[in-house]
Copies of this chain bind each other. A is one copy, B any other.
C-alpha cells in the first residue's frame, strides 16, 4: 500500500470511527469474504459470432487452477475454484485436489454439463426420450461422486432444457420428468453437499425454459428437500426484475444457495460483475451483509474481448468493494428510519455508504492478507506472462462457451 492509499485509509477509518462504525469488525468481515472463480472463466469463450482466444490460455484443469491461484494471490479472497464436468474431466481427481491445495486453493462447486452433447438436442433431464433422461441423470450422479472426491460442498444444476416452439412439448409432462430425475439425483446427495438449482429466462431455449425464474427453481427445491437451494445468476432475469428482492426472499425462505456473479445490460451478457450497474450489486450485498453468513459467491463470466485474468481480478475487486460499502451501512439507523416511514432518510443511508470511496479499506484488508493493494495494477505490472502465459502451448486451448 503506497503512502497515498495509507493516508486515505487512515482518513477513512477515522471518519468511520467518528461516525460510530467498528472499523476492525468491518475489516474482519471483509477478510472473511471468499469468492469462487470458475475454471471455465480462464479458458477460451466466445459468442455464437466467434471467439478471440489470446495466447497463453490454459489447456488443462491444472493450468486453469494456476490462473485461479494468480487471481487469489492478487486479491486475497478468491480461494475457491468451481470446476466443470466434462471440461475439467479427469480419470483421477486426487492430483487436481492436491494441485489446488498446493496453490492454496479449494475446489468449490462441481458444475455438470447438460448441453452440447448431440443427444441433448431436445433436452437432458426433460428430454421426451427416457434414454436421454437416463444419460443426463447419470451425469448428475457422476458429478455428485466427483464432488465427494474433490471435497466440494455443492453441485450446481443449470438446466438448459426448454422448447423453441409453442406446442413442442407439454409443460406439465415436462415438470413430471424433471422432478422424477431430480428425485433420484437428490436421493444420492450425501450430507454436506447441496444441490444448487439455477434458473434462466431463456437461451438456449427460446420459447420456454423449464426452470425460467426463481419461482420455478424454488418449487423444485421444495419438492426435493432442504439440501436443494436456489442459485441466482445475475444475468438470467427479465429486464426490470428486482434481483435484490429475490435474494432477500430466498434468504428469508432459507433457500438462497448462492450466486453466479456477472453483469448484463441486455440478455445473458456475462460481463464483468459491477460493470453495468454497480449500485444494484451494492444493493445485493446490502442484503447479504445482513445475513448470519454469506452464501456461495461464485463468478460466472465469459470474457470475450478482455484479458481473462485481468477481468477476473477486476471482478473480485468489484465484489470486495460492493461488500465493503454494504458493511458501511448504518443498520441501526436504517431500521429506525424504515420503521418511521422516512422514505428518503432511509434511502440516503444507502446512498451515503455507496458514495464512500472504500478502495483504501479494501486495499488495506487485501494487503494484510498478503495480497495486492491494487490487484489490477499489480497484475498489469507483474510477470504472469513471462512466468506462466508465455510458456503455454499457444494452440492448445480447451473449449468453453461458444468457443
Contact = CB atoms under 8 A, between A and B. Distances in A.
Contacts of A214: 215
Given A208-B245, A242-B208, A266-B240, A306 B171 contact: no
Contacts of A50: 115-117, 120, 204
A47 B120 CA distance: 13
A216 B380 CA distance: 37
Contacts of A219: 215, 218, 249, 253
A252 interface: yes
Nearest to A239: B239
Contacts of A351: 167
Contact of A129 (B206, B341, B376): B341
Nearest to A53: B118
A98 interface: no
Interface in A344-387: 344-351, 354-357, 359, 376, 380
Nearest to A267: B267
Contacts of A241: 201, 212-213, 238
Contacts of A347: 165-168, 275
Contacts of A175: 249, 252
A269 interface: yes
Nearest to A329: B167
B277 A280 contact: yes
Interface in A1-35: 4, 7-8, 11, 15, 18
B338 A266 contact: no
A48 interface: yes
Q: How many copies of the chain does the oligomer comprise?
A: 4
Contact of A11 (B8, B48, B173): B8
A203 B341 contact: no
A346 B167 contact: yes
Interface residues of A, number: 112
A295 interface: no
29 contacts: A47-B48, A49-B116, A50-B115, A50-B117, A50-B204, A122-B305, A122-B341, A128-B339, A163-B343, A166-B244, A168-B338, A168-B346, A169-B338, A171-B248, A201-B241, A201-B266, A206-B270, A207-B265, A212-B242, A215-B216, A238-B238, A238-B241, A275-B347, A277-B277, A279-B279, A311-B344, A314-B344, A356-B357, A402-B402
Interface of A: 4, 7-8, 11, 15, 18, 46-50, 52, 115-118, 120-122, 127-129, 160, 163-173, 175, 201-204, 206-209, 212-216, 218-219, 237-242, 244-245, 248-249, 251-253, 264-267, 269-272, 275-280, 283, 286-287, 304-307, 310-311, 314, 321, 334-335, 338-341, 343-351, 354-357, 359, 376, 380, 401-402
